[in-house]
Amino acid sequence: MTDSLSTRLQQVRGRLQAACAAAGRPAEAVTLLAVSKTFPATDVQEAHACGQRAFGENYVQELQQKSEALAGLAIEWHFIGPLQSNKTRIVAERAHWAHSIDRLKIAERLSAQRPDELPPLNVCVQVNVSGEDSKSGCAPEEALALARAVAALPRLRLRGLMCIPEPTEDAARLAAQFVELRRLKEQLAAEGLALDTLSMGMSADLELAVAEGATVVRVGSAIFGQRSYPL
Ligand SMILES: *Cc1c(COP(=O)(O)O)cnc(C)c1O
């Protein structure tokens, strides 16, 4: 027997509340982003009926299909996957947020393609804090220059930093990578870039991320169940 989506969503909310309490942070300090990649629009609809409003997608095509299918619902769509320059238009037109900005060219295209009638697109610069070659994200030492350039684009609103740490169960290593992202954000603040968002923490490590200052946790499998193909 598996729990229902609403039960799992309740469990994740409980974990998030407990993590905030343990960290001495108010529960409203952390937003739960439900990562619905690979799951059908009907699952998004079900989570929405349970009060969930922010959803994350990794694939432009899924963002397009689900945002179209659920156009009548008040949903905040977050694009969190790798972004190629020939796919930016859909994100610029459909998303409220993009977390995965790791080069200026992508940011420039999103800014140019953001429709005039929409507010600026909220964005995060993705930083490769694990130093793994295979990972997307800019190098930590590039983050300041990229953030400055992104902040200057007229149709984007730079909100913060995002990371995906290396896949490890070593809590100390994970915590060190979350701390690095928080320190980078503090460094940017010292340089005059005041940001309000740290997008870090997933199903397995949201407690650690909240302890280190996450303001958005991106949770997929703990809400929607195991994905049938690994991503
Ligand atoms: C898939 C994904 C998540 C969610 O991962 P879970 O382990 O299922 O919670 C979060 N962030 C990004 C960027 C992802 O691709």
Longest alpha-carbon distance in the chain? 52
Residue nearest ligand 1's atom 4 by CA:
220
The half-sphere exposure of 220 on its side-chain side, counting CA atoms within 13 A, is 18
Residue matched to tokens 């960290």 = 23
* 103 inside domain: yes
CATH number of the domain residue 99 falls in: 3.20.20.10
Q: Is the CB of 231 under 6 A from ligand 1?
A: yes
Question: In 3-state terms, the chain is what percent helix, strand and coil (to 5)?
Answer: 45, 15, 40
Q: Is residue 26 packed enough to be buried (19+ CB in 10 Å), middle (13-18) or exposed (0-12)? A: exposed
Closest ligand 1 atom to 227 CA: 8
pLDDT above 70 for 34: yes
Q: Which helix (H) or strand (E) holds 160?
A: strand 156-162
Residue 194 structure tokens: 């005041």
The answer to the question of residue 205 being in a domain is yes
pTM: 0.96
In a domain, 231, yes or no: no
* Cα of 105 from ligand 1 centre, angstroms: 24
Which pLDDT belongs to residue 132? Answer: 83
Give a yes or no: residue 102 inside a domain. Answer: yes
Which of the listed residues 39, 80, 97, 101 should we mutate to test ligand 1's pocket, taking the one with most ligand atoms within 8 A of CB?
Answer: 80
Min mean pLDDT across 46-55, 145-154, 195-204, 222-231 is at 222-231
Number of residues assigned to the chain:
231
Parent domain of 191: 5-224
Does residue 34 sit within a domain? yes
Establish whether residue 219 lines the binding site of ligand 1, counting it when its CB lies within 6 angstroms of any ligand atom.
yes
The pLDDT value recorded for residue 230 is 58
Question: What tokens does 157 get?
Answer: 């609103």
Q: What is the 220 CA–ligand 1 centroid distance (Å)? A: 5
Which residue's alpha carbon is nearest to atom 10 within ligand 1? 218
Mutate to test the pocket of ligand 1, among 12, 32, 218, 223 (most ligand atoms within 8 A of CB): 218
CA distance 66 to 29: 28
The protein residue whose alpha carbon is closest to atom 13 in ligand 1 is 80
27 lines ligand 1 (CB under 6 A): no
Ligand 1 neighbour 164 (Cβ under 6 A) = yes
Rounded-to-integer distance, Cα 42 and Cα 56, Å:
15
How many folded domains does the chain comprise? 1
- The enclosing H or E element of 172 equals helix 171-190
Radius of gyration of the chain (CA): 17
Question: Closest by alpha carbon to 186, among 130, 178, 108?
Answer: 178
Provide the pLDDT for residue 1: 47
Q: Which pLDDT score is estimated for 131?
A: 85
> What is the rounded distance in angstroms from the CA atom of residue 78 to the CA atom of residue 50?
19
35 lines ligand 1 (CB under 6 A): yes
Residue 177 inside a domain? The answer is: yes
The mean pLDDT of 172-200, rounded to a whole number, is 97
Q: Which contacts of 56-65 are long-range, i.e. CB under 8 A and separated by 24 or more positions?
A: 56/80, 56/99, 56/218, 56/220, 57/81, 58/82, 58/231, 60/87, 60/90, 60/91, 62/36, 62/37, 62/38, 63/90, 63/91, 63/94, 63/95, 64/90, 64/94, 65/41
Rounded distance from Cα 41 to ligand 1 centre (Å): 17
Q: What pLDDT was estimated at residue 135?
A: 78
pLDDT higher than 70, residue 207: yes
The 10s digit of each residue's pLDDT in 45-104 is 999 999 999 999 999 999 999 999 999 999 999 999 999 999 999 999 999 999 999 999
Let me know if residue 211 belongs to a domain. yes
The reply to whether 229 falls in a domain is no
